[in-house]
Amino acid sequence: MVMQGAAMVFFQKGARAASVEDILEAARISRRTFYRLYESKDDVLLALYKVGTDRLVTECARVAQERTDPIHIVEGFIDAHLRNAQQLGRLVFVLGGEASRQESILHAARMEAHATLVDILTEKMPPHDPWLTRGLLLALEGVTRMMLESCDEGRKVTAAAVARVRRVMMRMATASIAGDGPQVSPIPLPPEKP
Protein backbone atom coordinates (compact mmCIF):
# COMPACT_ATOMS: atom_id res chain seq x y z
CA MET A 1 0.00 0.00 0.00
CA VAL A 2 2.84 2.38 0.82
CA MET A 3 4.60 1.72 -2.49
CA GLN A 4 1.40 2.17 -4.51
CA GLY A 5 0.52 5.36 -2.65
CA ALA A 6 4.06 6.69 -3.03
CA ALA A 7 4.08 5.89 -6.74
CA MET A 8 0.88 7.94 -7.18
CA VAL A 9 2.29 10.82 -5.13
CA PHE A 10 5.64 10.89 -6.95
CA PHE A 11 3.77 10.63 -10.26
CA GLN A 12 1.64 13.66 -9.40
CA LYS A 13 4.01 15.86 -7.40
CA GLY A 14 7.51 14.73 -8.30
CA ALA A 15 10.13 13.39 -5.90
CA ARG A 16 11.13 16.60 -4.17
CA ALA A 17 7.70 18.18 -3.70
CA ALA A 18 6.14 15.01 -2.25
CA SER A 19 5.94 14.65 1.52
CA VAL A 20 5.40 11.82 3.97
CA GLU A 21 1.95 13.35 4.62
CA ASP A 22 1.11 12.99 0.95
CA ILE A 23 2.19 9.35 1.00
CA LEU A 24 0.18 8.64 4.16
CA GLU A 25 -2.93 10.09 2.58
CA ALA A 26 -2.49 8.27 -0.75
CA ALA A 27 -1.66 4.95 0.92
CA ARG A 28 -4.39 5.39 3.53
CA ILE A 29 -2.13 4.32 6.37
CA SER A 30 -1.22 5.78 9.71
CA ARG A 31 2.02 7.57 10.46
CA ARG A 32 2.87 4.81 12.92
CA THR A 33 2.48 2.11 10.23
CA PHE A 34 4.61 4.13 7.82
CA TYR A 35 7.46 4.56 10.30
CA ARG A 36 7.42 0.87 11.20
CA LEU A 37 8.25 0.15 7.56
CA TYR A 38 10.33 3.16 6.46
CA GLU A 39 12.44 5.82 8.14
CA SER A 40 11.66 8.58 5.65
CA LYS A 41 10.23 9.58 2.29
CA ASP A 42 13.69 8.96 0.82
CA ASP A 43 13.57 5.31 1.95
CA VAL A 44 10.29 4.84 0.06
CA LEU A 45 11.72 6.66 -2.96
CA LEU A 46 14.77 4.39 -2.97
CA ALA A 47 12.68 1.23 -2.53
CA LEU A 48 10.42 2.22 -5.43
CA TYR A 49 13.42 3.06 -7.62
CA LYS A 50 15.08 -0.29 -6.84
CA VAL A 51 11.90 -2.16 -7.81
CA GLY A 52 12.12 -0.51 -11.24
CA THR A 53 15.85 -1.00 -11.76
CA ASP A 54 15.72 -4.60 -10.50
CA ARG A 55 12.92 -5.29 -12.97
CA LEU A 56 14.97 -3.79 -15.82
CA VAL A 57 18.19 -5.63 -14.88
CA THR A 58 16.32 -8.95 -14.55
CA GLU A 59 14.75 -8.51 -17.99
CA CYS A 60 18.10 -7.57 -19.57
CA ALA A 61 19.84 -10.56 -17.95
CA ARG A 62 17.11 -12.81 -19.37
CA VAL A 63 17.63 -11.33 -22.84
CA ALA A 64 21.39 -11.88 -22.59
CA GLN A 65 20.83 -15.53 -21.63
CA GLU A 66 18.45 -16.17 -24.53
CA ARG A 67 20.38 -14.40 -27.30
CA THR A 68 23.92 -14.73 -28.59
CA ASP A 69 24.35 -11.94 -31.15
CA PRO A 70 25.48 -8.70 -29.45
CA ILE A 71 23.21 -6.56 -31.63
CA HIS A 72 20.17 -8.68 -30.79
CA ILE A 73 21.11 -8.52 -27.11
CA VAL A 74 21.32 -4.72 -27.19
CA GLU A 75 18.04 -4.64 -29.11
CA GLY A 76 16.47 -6.65 -26.27
CA PHE A 77 17.93 -4.21 -23.72
CA ILE A 78 16.44 -1.30 -25.67
CA ASP A 79 13.04 -2.97 -25.87
CA ALA A 80 13.05 -3.72 -22.13
CA HIS A 81 13.98 -0.13 -21.34
CA LEU A 82 11.31 1.25 -23.65
CA ARG A 83 8.63 -1.04 -22.20
CA ASN A 84 9.42 0.41 -18.78
CA ALA A 85 9.27 3.94 -20.16
CA GLN A 86 6.01 3.30 -21.98
CA GLN A 87 4.27 1.54 -19.09
CA LEU A 88 5.57 3.78 -16.29
CA GLY A 89 6.37 6.96 -18.24
CA ARG A 90 5.84 9.67 -15.64
CA LEU A 91 7.35 7.60 -12.83
CA VAL A 92 10.41 6.78 -14.96
CA PHE A 93 10.73 10.48 -15.76
CA VAL A 94 10.52 11.55 -12.10
CA LEU A 95 12.68 8.81 -10.60
CA GLY A 96 15.21 8.86 -13.45
CA GLY A 97 15.59 12.63 -13.14
CA GLU A 98 16.13 12.33 -9.41
CA ALA A 99 18.60 9.45 -9.85
CA SER A 100 20.72 11.46 -12.29
CA ARG A 101 21.49 14.05 -9.59
CA GLN A 102 24.75 13.02 -7.88
CA GLU A 103 23.57 14.28 -4.50
CA SER A 104 20.39 12.18 -4.67
CA ILE A 105 19.85 9.10 -2.52
CA LEU A 106 18.97 7.30 -5.79
CA HIS A 107 22.26 8.04 -7.55
CA ALA A 108 24.21 5.12 -6.06
CA ALA A 109 21.42 2.70 -7.01
CA ARG A 110 21.49 4.09 -10.56
CA MET A 111 25.26 3.55 -10.80
CA GLU A 112 24.89 0.02 -9.41
CA ALA A 113 22.24 -0.82 -12.03
CA HIS A 114 24.45 0.68 -14.77
CA ALA A 115 27.44 -1.37 -13.60
CA THR A 116 25.39 -4.56 -13.68
CA LEU A 117 24.07 -3.81 -17.18
CA VAL A 118 27.60 -2.97 -18.39
CA ASP A 119 28.86 -6.30 -16.97
CA ILE A 120 26.07 -8.22 -18.72
CA LEU A 121 26.75 -6.51 -22.04
CA THR A 122 30.55 -6.62 -21.83
CA GLU A 123 30.41 -10.36 -21.33
CA LYS A 124 28.42 -10.79 -24.57
CA MET A 125 30.15 -8.26 -26.82
CA PRO A 126 33.42 -8.49 -28.74
CA PRO A 127 36.43 -7.08 -26.84
CA HIS A 128 36.08 -3.32 -26.41
CA ASP A 129 36.65 -0.50 -23.97
CA PRO A 130 33.93 -0.81 -21.27
CA TRP A 131 33.47 2.95 -21.46
CA LEU A 132 31.89 2.35 -24.87
CA THR A 133 29.22 0.19 -23.23
CA ARG A 134 28.76 2.62 -20.34
CA GLY A 135 28.57 5.57 -22.73
CA LEU A 136 26.04 3.73 -24.85
CA LEU A 137 23.84 3.01 -21.82
CA LEU A 138 24.03 6.65 -20.71
CA ALA A 139 23.19 7.83 -24.23
CA LEU A 140 20.22 5.46 -24.47
CA GLU A 141 19.01 6.65 -21.08
CA GLY A 142 19.36 10.26 -22.26
CA VAL A 143 17.37 9.66 -25.45
CA THR A 144 14.63 8.00 -23.39
CA ARG A 145 14.57 11.05 -21.14
CA MET A 146 14.24 13.34 -24.17
CA MET A 147 11.29 11.26 -25.38
CA LEU A 148 9.58 11.37 -21.97
CA GLU A 149 10.14 15.12 -21.78
CA SER A 150 8.50 15.59 -25.18
CA CYS A 151 5.56 13.42 -24.04
CA ASP A 152 4.41 15.80 -21.28
CA GLU A 153 7.14 14.60 -18.90
CA GLY A 154 6.05 10.99 -19.30
CA ARG A 155 2.33 11.59 -18.83
CA LYS A 156 1.38 10.96 -22.48
CA VAL A 157 3.84 8.50 -24.00
CA THR A 158 2.70 7.64 -27.51
CA ALA A 159 3.44 4.62 -29.67
CA ALA A 160 4.86 7.00 -32.30
CA ALA A 161 7.30 8.51 -29.79
CA VAL A 162 8.42 5.05 -28.65
CA ALA A 163 8.92 3.92 -32.27
CA ARG A 164 10.91 7.07 -33.02
CA VAL A 165 13.19 6.74 -29.99
CA ARG A 166 13.67 3.04 -30.75
CA ARG A 167 14.94 3.91 -34.26
CA VAL A 168 17.36 6.45 -32.78
CA MET A 169 18.54 4.00 -30.13
CA MET A 170 19.05 1.20 -32.64
CA ARG A 171 21.17 3.49 -34.82
CA MET A 172 23.30 4.50 -31.83
CA ALA A 173 23.64 0.93 -30.61
CA THR A 174 24.34 -0.75 -33.93
CA ALA A 175 26.85 1.93 -34.95
CA SER A 176 28.60 1.53 -31.58
CA ILE A 177 28.74 -2.25 -31.72
CA ALA A 178 29.01 -3.11 -35.41
CA GLY A 179 30.81 0.03 -36.58
CA ASP A 180 29.48 -0.06 -40.13
CA GLY A 181 28.04 -2.50 -42.60
CA PRO A 182 24.71 -4.23 -43.10
CA GLN A 183 23.92 -4.62 -39.38
CA VAL A 184 24.01 -0.88 -38.74
CA SER A 185 20.55 0.66 -38.68
CA PRO A 186 19.92 3.57 -41.07
CA ILE A 187 20.18 7.13 -39.85
CA PRO A 188 16.74 7.98 -38.47
CA LEU A 189 15.01 10.82 -40.26
CA PRO A 190 13.13 13.54 -38.40
CA PRO A 191 9.38 12.98 -38.12
CA GLU A 192 7.27 14.50 -40.86
CA LYS A 193 5.70 17.80 -39.96
CA PRO A 194 1.91 17.78 -39.91
Write down the architecture of domain 53-178 according to CATH: Orthogonal Bundle (1.10)
Residue 122: predicted pLDDT: 85
Q: Is 175 left (phi over 0), alpha (psi -120 to 50) or beta?
A: alpha
pLDDT average, residue stretch 36-41: 94
**pLDDT > 70: percent of the chain:** 97
Question: Could you tell me the pLDDT band of residue 179, with boundaries at 50, 70 and 90?
Answer: low
Yes or no: say if 117 and 81 are a contact pair by the CB < 8 Å rule. no
* Average pLDDT for the chain: 91
- pLDDT greater than 90 at residue 187: no
- pLDDT greater than 70 at residue 27: yes
Residue 182: predicted pLDDT: 75
pLDDT average, residue stretch 112-130: 88
pLDDT tens-digit profile of 65-106?
A: 999 988 899 999 999 999 999 999 999 999 999 999 999 999
Question: Could you tell me the pLDDT band of residue 188, with boundaries at 50, 70 and 90?
Answer: low
* Residue 20 CB-density burial (10 A; 0-12 exposed, 13-18 middle, 19+ buried): middle
DSSP of the chain: -HHHHHHHHHHHH-TTT--HHHHHHHHT--HHHHHHH-SSHHHHHHHHHHHHHHHHHHHHHHHHHH--SHHHHHHHHHHHHHHHHHHSHHHHHHHHHHHTSTTSTTHHHHHHHHHHHHHHHHHHSPS--HHHHHHHHHHHHHHHHHHHHHTTTTTS--HHHHHHHHHHHHHHHHHHHH-SSTTSPPPPPPPPP-
**pLDDT > 90: percent of the chain:** 77
Residue 40: predicted pLDDT: 94
Yes or no: say if 27 and 4 are a contact pair by the CB < 8 Å rule. yes
pLDDT average, residue stretch 99-127: 92
Radius of gyration for the chain, computed over Cα atoms and rounded to the nearest angstrom: 18
- pLDDT greater than 90 at residue 158: yes
Question: Could you tell me the pLDDT band of residue 44, with boundaries at 50, 70 and 90?
Answer: very high
CB atoms inside a 10 Å sphere around CB 97 = 19
